[in-house]
Structure 1
Amino acid sequence: MAPLTLAVLGAGERGNIFGNLALQHPERVKVVAVAEVHPSRRSIFASKHSIADASVFSDWRALAEQPKLADAVVITTLDRMHYEATILFAQKGYHILCEKPLATDPNECAKMVKAVQDAGVILAVGHVLRYSPYFVALKKQLDNQAVGDILNMIHVEPVGNYHFAHSFVRGNWGRKDLTSFSLMTKSCHDLDIICHMLSPRRPLFVSSFGSLTHFRKDKKPKEAGDAKRCQECAYEPQCPYSTNKIYMDTIKGGHKGWPVSVLHPEPDIENIAEALRTGPYGRCVYECDNDVNDHQVVNIEFEGGVSVSFTMVATTQLLCQRLTRIHGSLGEITGDMNIFDLFSFQDRQNQTHHPSTTLGGHGGGDDGLFHAFVEALEKNDQSVLGCTPNDILTSHLLVFAAESARLSRTVVDFNEFASTYTGLV
């Protein structure tokens, strides 16, 4: 069988993750086209994959105007571009792997799902936690009734203090008008994995509270004075969000991956220093134009009376290492994305589970999603992904419902909220 072919829209961090996975499995899949606005990133990506010049584009819309160039498209552009790209490429018959979130508007999410269903193409979204060995093993225990009937779940997303400063204050996801609210851009992963863990139960009611509390001008240390950038700030050596600590110490230590690779496609001391002098990542975290929440809680009632509490918080030592407790009628599970303990009330014994993992992001979830998508294409079978487009829509709508509840300070009836959009599908 000839390898499947992929077109990649966006040769940034996520585009390269999936592109590198393709390079590891040339017998199964090959990247044959790329669209990337940044000249250097575009050139490096095209060279790495030996893509013909005629299939290298600076604008993904130009790629979409061509006759079909690949079996599938991987959409890793900025969030606000996902909607239009998915619609256009679905209509041209491309199978689609779209980075999360699917879109930044609930109507757009619903229209995207309808488009792929009408076109009869496969849709995967970057909810990679579903595919990590850890959550696969955890879901198996729940489906096997290892803790009996589930009563309650507590799930925490500790974003990481410097990760939040990098991505959601200085970076691409700091402003709602340019992308979306942080519960969507960061934690749609988490509400999706909660829905997956509790499936086939559906959410019924949701409430939420949260705000932007720390990363704002009135919290700026007095010692920082009027400084707008780290490089000109007297307080910089004491600041937890010093660019010297986050970026310069990283590149000086020989590490050229995330987060310094975001600042420059070929990071070294000189070009990272220049990026910090002139670019957005050199700004003081208390002087940025960010407006997304740095903490939020979401409470959900699922069918069967299952109660769920989810917390997203920026100021943590842990970096995206989710913490989960699941309480059932026969036992409880406590986990941290590496191992989980299952305690049985019946025999008072504790079992520690060490799910096998692979190298790569999100506890092996990036690899897991990529391989599931390729297998789904090989078999032309959406079910290989373990979720339908409607499942993807449901978990996105739950995020939108939670934000609606936060803004209105009400308890939102999820079925009533979702019916407005599912009627479009």
Structure 2
Amino acid sequence: MSIGESSRPVTLAIIGAGQRGSAYAAYAEKFPDLCKVVAVADPWKFRREKMSKVHNVPKENQYDGWKSFAEAGKICDAVAVCTMDDTHAEVVGVFAPLGYHILCEKPMANSIKDCVTMVDSVRDTGLIFGIGHVMRYSPYNRAVREVLDSGVLGEIINIQHIEPVGWQHFAHSYVRGNWKNEATTSFSLMAKCCHDLDILSYYMGKDSPKRVSSFGSLAHFKPSKKPKEAGEATRCTDCAYERKCPYSAKKIYLEPVMSDAEDPERWAQHITDIVDIENVGKAIAEGPYGLCVYNGQNDVADNQVVNIEFESGATANITMVAFSEVVCNRSTRIHGTRGELIDNMETFTVFDFSTQEKKTVVPKQEGGGHGGGDMGLARAFVKAVAEKDASHLGVTPEDVLRSHLMVFASEASRKEGRVVDYGQFEKEQKALYSK
């Protein structure tokens, strides 16, 4: 039965009603005949009730966390697991035996052991398992892949990819926010760029990684870089340097709300339920998002490069950097033996060495996050569930594990100062943790 012929929409529970949960729930809002959100679980009452209102979720299907939802047994077809990274393995380990199809937000987990365990828990169950590597599913990246598959570039020799995180985004998420500390979440390459390494795998197809090296550090957001004018201040509200500081919490959260900014709630909506001057001001005066970025509460790298050699001899490098004007507007250069592709997530050019002709491609824009990738992944997952056909996802749990192991291998290289033999690394880690 095709998704268009299904007698009812796929029923979905959102586990974690934050930004990522909302992104996947938006698919059900846009295509109610294909997918329906029937339950919401989140300890934050405001977010739980807000999402439930949008999707008409009854009170009895609103849960204060994933555990209370699990106690209800199986009440729908699938779950979108959008809890914090360090809970993913435990949550998936509980929901899989209940028979839920699972869409798990990236990354899979914070440790190799948990990633391997998660794949083991869904292997051979017949369940649909998807991961939030949304970049694979954007119309843009699919158009790039079509060019690569066409052979017009010849043999791929090198890929250069940059992820400019954005100075405000990095300060918000990785210095003050949920992903600031490796011990409680994960290292920044995993949290921010696991789907960048995945998109390299997507571009390279069956060509496997051979060797990996990486360099990077926490170069700026640390006490030794604190401006002298800031003195002993620990909050932006008490700092003499605040007006000069690009990372001022007042500038990032409060002033846009006080002005006629184009998107006044851009960052403020993530630090308080009610976005107004009073509540945002209180949040930065009392909460973590008003702390000085040089306090030392964070320890994840703010810049990192990853170099990969593939079995074919092709090479690739990824740069993640906090310090950019653009926010996550990735750019890529793909060099082949017969041509070159240059992209910026909106358009790309293809130059043919033989004809010396350059073609500009403007892929369809579907809206939503990650260039339409959020909607693309939700669509593929819902179709896979409706038709009980995991091939619609275009990736297996083993593929997902491999791209995560590439990230872990990169971080091992950075921390240990060595080139990692990827094949050996993968073999050793699976031997340690797989059933």
Q: Secondary structure at the match of 1:347?
A: coil
Q: Does 1:417 align with 2:430?
A: no
Q: Secondary structure at the match of 2:200?
A: helix
The AA in structure 1 aligned to 2:386 is E
Q: Secondary structure at the match of 2:17?
A: coil
Question: In structure 2, what is the equivalent of residue 284 of structure 1?
Answer: 292
Residue 256 of structure 1: how far off its partner (Å): 5.7
The AA in structure 2 aligned to 1:13 is Q
Question: In structure 2, what is the equivalent of residue 331 of structure 1?
Answer: 339
Residue 288 of structure 1: how far off its partner (Å): 4.1
Equivalent pair of 1:256/1:268 in contact (CA under 8 Å): no
Equivalent pair of 2:182/2:299 in contact (CA under 8 Å): yes
Shift in alpha-carbon separation, 1:118–1:256, aligned structure 2, 3 A: farther
Equivalent pair of 1:182/1:292 in contact (CA under 8 Å): yes
The AA in structure 1 aligned to 2:153 is V
Of 385, 403, 410, the match for 1:402: 410
Structure 2 residue runs without a partner (length 5+): 1-6
Question: In structure 2, what is the equivalent of residue 47 of structure 1?
Answer: 53
Equivalent pair of 2:27/2:35 in contact (CA under 8 Å): no
Shift in alpha-carbon separation, 1:368–1:256, aligned structure 2, 3 A: farther
Q: CA RMSD in A?
A: 1.2
What TM-score, normalized to structure 1? 0.98
Q: Give the number of equivalent residue pairs.
A: 425
Q: Secondary structure at the match of 1:332?
A: strand
Equivalent pair of 1:8/1:75 in contact (CA under 8 Å): yes
Equivalent pair of 1:256/1:267 in contact (CA under 8 Å): no
Residue 30 of structure 1: how far off its partner (Å): 0.9
Question: In structure 1, what is the equivalent of residue 269 of structure 2?
Answer: 261
Equivalent pair of 2:256/2:265 in contact (CA under 8 Å): no
Q: Deviations over 1:232-272 (max 9, x none)?
A: 11111111111122111332336365422211233222211
Return the alpha-carbon distance in structure 2 between the equivalents of residues 262 and 293 of structure 1. Answer: 22
The AA in structure 2 aligned to 1:98 is C
Q: Secondary structure at the match of 2:233?
A: coil
Question: In structure 1, what is the equivalent of residue 323 of structure 2?
Answer: 315
Q: Deviations over 1:75-100 (max 9, x none)?
A: 11110010100111111110111111
Of 101, 105, 110, the match for 1:104: 110
Equivalent pair of 2:41/2:65 in contact (CA under 8 Å): yes
Residue 422 of structure 1: how far off its partner (Å): 3.5
Residue 31 of structure 1: how far off its partner (Å): 0.9
The AA in structure 1 aligned to 2:244 is Q
What TM-score, normalized to structure 2? 0.95
Return the alpha-carbon distance in structure 1 between the equivalents of residues 251 and 293 of structure 2. Answer: 13
Q: Deviations over 1:359-380 (max 9, x none)?
A: 1111111111111111111111
Question: In structure 1, what is the equivalent of residue 81 of structure 2?
Answer: 75
Correspondence 1:11-50 to 2 at 5 A? 11-50=17-56
Correspondence 1:145-164 to 2 at 5 A? 145-164=151-170
Return the alpha-carbon distance in structure 2 between the equivalents of residues 275 and 41 of structure 1. Answer: 17
Return the alpha-carbon distance in structure 2 between the equivalents of residues 80 and 118 of structure 1. Answer: 24
Q: Secondary structure at the match of 2:68?
A: helix
Correspondence 1:321-400 to 2 at 5 A? 321-400=329-408
Question: In structure 2, what is the equivalent of residue 127 of structure 1?
Answer: 133
Q: Does 1:217 align with 2:196?
A: no
Q: Does 1:241 align with 2:237?
A: no
Return the alpha-carbon distance in structure 1 between the equivalents of residues 273 and 104 of structure 2. Answer: 22
Equivalent pair of 2:214/2:304 in contact (CA under 8 Å): yes
Return the alpha-carbon distance in structure 1 between the equivalents of residues 118 and 266 of structure 2. Answer: 30
Structure 1 residue runs without a partner (length 5+): none
Q: Deviations over 1:389-421 (max 9, x none)?
A: 111010000000100111111111111111133
